[in-house]
């Protein structure tokens, strides 16, 4: 049986579990890799219409990976893996503008270019949050500024008027005084790749549950791990003591109702121009380790 491959996911839980030996305590035979090499920032500089869905189509090397639930939903329905039913997570996110921007309210974002990642959480979440305030024709999404760290850098350099950020970049922008106009917190789902041993998956998720409890109890002890996945060019300016815990794991099922409602929303908003959301039914697209 091949080793279980663990990839950090721009969050704290995997780093905490590794530091505290929780994966080893569970007896997991694993390899811990920073596959995306986010510390050099290159993975995030891919602009235009290169997003989470495309990375699933190209294939991921880790046994388990994560992305916004909308894209994982469609990728699983297309057969690029199986959505893990027994867990989802919730990530703080928001639309940020320059400190001196004249944009003060969500309504002021009408027609303003908002940098997001194509078919990534920022894409869906921005639409979902803004449609309470704006007509669809007034929501102006821009994909060419790149993925998470690339578009954060555009904001920091004054080259972007509005940017959707989550995870560490969310807290970094907040620390530096950039103004959040609208919260766009969104759900993340887990994808299982290949055919890992179910017992290895149980060990992995038990370790993450322990790590989540540690973070809940003392987030201040672990926010320094954001630096492990941040491009090094930003490290000197980061004060992670001021940052929050970020994404939180929720050990509750991603139900069939959620699966269906998300797909209906995606279809209604034309996120996939070809209309192809995959043909696998819920029971075919998900994997559960519980009854």
What confidence tens digit (pLDDT) does each residue in 10-35 have? 899 999 999 999 999 999 999 998 75
Answer yes or no: do 164 and 203 share one domain.
no
Whether 32 and 88 map to the same domain: the answer is yes
Rounded mean pLDDT, 208-216: 98
- Note whether 52 and 193 are same-domain residues: yes
Counted domains in the chain: 2
* Residue pLDDT, tens place only, 65-108: 999 999 999 999 999 999 999 999 999 999 999 999 999 999 99
pTM here is 0.92
> Which residue shows structure tokens 């986010």?
38
Let me know whether 180 and 120 are in one domain: yes
Query: Among the three residues 133, 157, 185, which one is the final residue of a domain in this structure?
Result: 185
The verdict on 9 and 39 lying in the same domain is: yes
Q: CB-based contacts of 2: which residues, under 8 Å, 6+ apart?
A: none
75 & 151 share domain: no
Same domain, residue pair 31 and 172: no
Rg of the Cα trace of the chain? 19
**137, 161, 185 — which closes off a domain?**
185
Q: Which residues of 73-85 are buried (b: 16+ CB within 10 A; e: fewer)?
A: bbbbbbebbbbbb
Distances (CA, A) of 247 to 147, 215, 226: 18, 10, 12
Q: Which pLDDT belongs to residue 146?
A: 82
Query: 262 pLDDT exceeds 50?
Result: yes
Count of CB atoms situated within 10 Å of the CB of 32: 14
Q: Under a CB-based contact definition with an 8 Å cutoff, are residues 283 and 260 in contact?
A: no
Q: Which structural domain, as residue segments, surrounds residue 155?
A: 93-185
Query: Is 67 in contact with 188 (CB distance < 8 Å)?
Result: yes
pLDDT-derived band at 45 (thresholds 50, 70, 90) equals: very low
Which among 185, 210, 236 is the end of a domain? 185
- What's the first-to-final CA gap in the chain, in angstroms? 25
Predicted confidence at residue 44, as pLDDT, reads 47
Q: Please, are residues 55 and 35 in contact by the beta-carbon 8 Å criterion?
A: no
Q: Report how far residue 131's alpha carbon sits from residue 184's, in angstroms, rounded to the nearest whole number.
A: 11
One domain, residues 85 and 138: no
Q: Are residues 194 and 272 in the same domain?
A: yes
> In this structure, are 83 and 201 located in the same domain?
yes
Tell me the CATH number at 99: 3.40.190.10
Residues 97 and 205 in one domain: no
Distance separating alpha carbons of residues 163 and 282, to the nearest angstrom: 33
Are 171 and 200 members of one domain?
no
How large is the average pLDDT for residues 27-54? 64
């Amino acid at each position: 049986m091949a080793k279980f491959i663990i990839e950090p996911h721009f969050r704290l839980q995997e780093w905490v579990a590794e530091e505290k030996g929780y994966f080893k305590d569970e007896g997991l035979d694993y390899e811990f890799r920073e596959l995306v090499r986010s510390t050099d920032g290159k993975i995030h500089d891919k602009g235009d219409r290169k997003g989470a869905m495309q990375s699933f189509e190209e294939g991921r090397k880790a046994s388990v990976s994560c992305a916004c639930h909308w894209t994982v939903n469609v990728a699983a329905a297309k057969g690029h893996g199986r959505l893990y039913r027994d867990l989802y997570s919730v990530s703080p996110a928001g639309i940020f503008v320059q400190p001196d921007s004249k944009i003060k309210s969500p309504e002021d974002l009408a027609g303003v270019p908002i940098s997001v990642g194509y078919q990534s959480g920022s894409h869906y979440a921005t639409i979902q949050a803004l449609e309470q305030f704006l007509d669809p024709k007034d929501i102006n999404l821009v994909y060419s500024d790149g993925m998470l760290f690339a578009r954060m850098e555009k904001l920091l350099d004054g080259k972007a008027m509005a940017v959707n950020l989550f995870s560490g970049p969310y807290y970094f922008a907040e620390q530096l005084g950039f103004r959040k106009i609208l919260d766009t917190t969104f759900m993340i789902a887990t994808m299982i790749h290949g055919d890992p041993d179910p017992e290895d998956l149980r060990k992995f998720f038990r370790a993450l549950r322990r790590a989540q409890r540690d973070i809940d109890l003392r987030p201040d002890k672990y926010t320094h791990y954001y630096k492990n996945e941040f491009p090094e060019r930003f490290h000197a300016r980061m004060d992670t003591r001021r940052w929050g815990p970020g994404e939180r794991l929720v050990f509750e099922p991603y139900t069939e109702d959620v699966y269906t409602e998300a797909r209906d929303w995606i279809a209604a908003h034309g996120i996939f121009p070809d209309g192809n959301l995959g043909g696998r039914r819920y029971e075919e697209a998900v994997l559960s380790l519980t009854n």
